[in-house]
Structure 1
Amino acid sequence: MDQWRGAAGVCVDEQGRLLMVLQGKPEEEKRWSVPSGGREGEETLEQTCIREVFEETGYRIRTTKPLQEKKGTIAGIDYSVTYFEIEITGGEAVIQDPDGLIYEIAWIPREELERLPLSFEEDRAFLLHITSTSTRGT
């Protein structure tokens, strides 16, 4: 069976807002997600997270700790995504996604996160929990 490994960056600012991107293929309804993507070559998952956040948001980051791992199977492909708590170290909000799948970068307040259309609905409870307990800032 094929396998896919990826990483996602979770950043909550001092106001409790979550860094998110609006994404989707051109023909799809656009939905929100934390910056994330698949591992390339021999990258570590931390390196994947750093690259993906930069490509999708323009922010330079460092990972501070792993938060959770999500596993499953879609269309016969086993997947695993490691979510990292991240801290912004530089850069500015600018989309530079080489895949052309990112349409907007935003800091989403917890109240909005409760009703926002998500790319991965199963992440909602986890992200709401993170935004209510995080003390990290940018």
Structure 2
Amino acid sequence: MIRLVARVWRSLGGRLQWRLVWLRHATFMVGVTGVVRDDEGRVLLLKHRLWPEGRQWGFPTGYAKRGETFEGTVEREVLEETGLTVKVGRLVRLKSGFRLRLEVAYEAVLTGGTLEIDPWEILEAKWCPPDRLPEGTQPSHQRLLQECSHL
């Protein structure tokens, strides 16, 4: 029986195999964050309109789109939210355990653009020294910055 199942599986071909595996396993949303620094070492903090009151400050963040690399998500989100361009660097966090959500964070450096916030998502943006984050910065983003500093 096992040999028959193996033979049938191999005969399906990669595309159909992947579709069956996808249907069988959990599908996750992927939240991607960029810890963006400028040439002075300051980090980009955004006051997010839709985040909980009192915890609205955090790094550029968004969900990966189907077929998009996580590095591409950082580049897109920063550009959409701020008008700035970045070069994505190393992966600094990969964390699961949020039911059907995976969290990914990368370091990034500013490469250009003009700061213009997207008023639908962002209330305010500012460059902050890592040791002077605004009050109301997401605790998880404070921890993320500490992790980046230790790597």
Sort the TM-score into its range (normalised by shorter chain). 0.7 to 0.9
Q: 1:89 aligns with which of 105, 111, 134?
A: 111
Q: 2:50 aligns with which of 9, 22, 25?
A: 25
- The Cα RMSD (Å) is 2.4
Question: Secondary structure in 1 aligned to 2:68?
Answer: coil
Q: How many residues align?
A: 125
5+ long unaligned stretches in structure 1: none
Contact 1:21 1:103 in 2 (8 A): yes
Provide the TM-score with structure 1 as the length reference: 0.76
Provide the TM-score with structure 2 as the length reference: 0.70
Larger radius of gyration: 2
5+ long unaligned stretches in structure 2: 1-25
Q: Deviations over 1:79-117 (max 9, x none)?
A: 1121111122210111136xx12111111223322x621
Give the match for residue 88 of structure 2: 63
1:107 equivalenced with 2:130 (yes/no): no
Alpha-carbon distance between aligned partners in 1 of 2:110 and 2:37, rounded to the nearest angstrom: 10
Question: Secondary structure in 1 aligned to 2:37?
Answer: coil
Residue correspondence of structure 1 range 96-135 to structure 2 within 5 A: 96=118, 100-113=120-133, 116-119=135-138, 121-130=139-148, 132=149
Alpha-carbon distance between aligned partners in 2 of 1:25 and 1:123, rounded to the nearest angstrom: 16
Residue identity (%): 29
1:43 equivalenced with 2:71 (yes/no): no
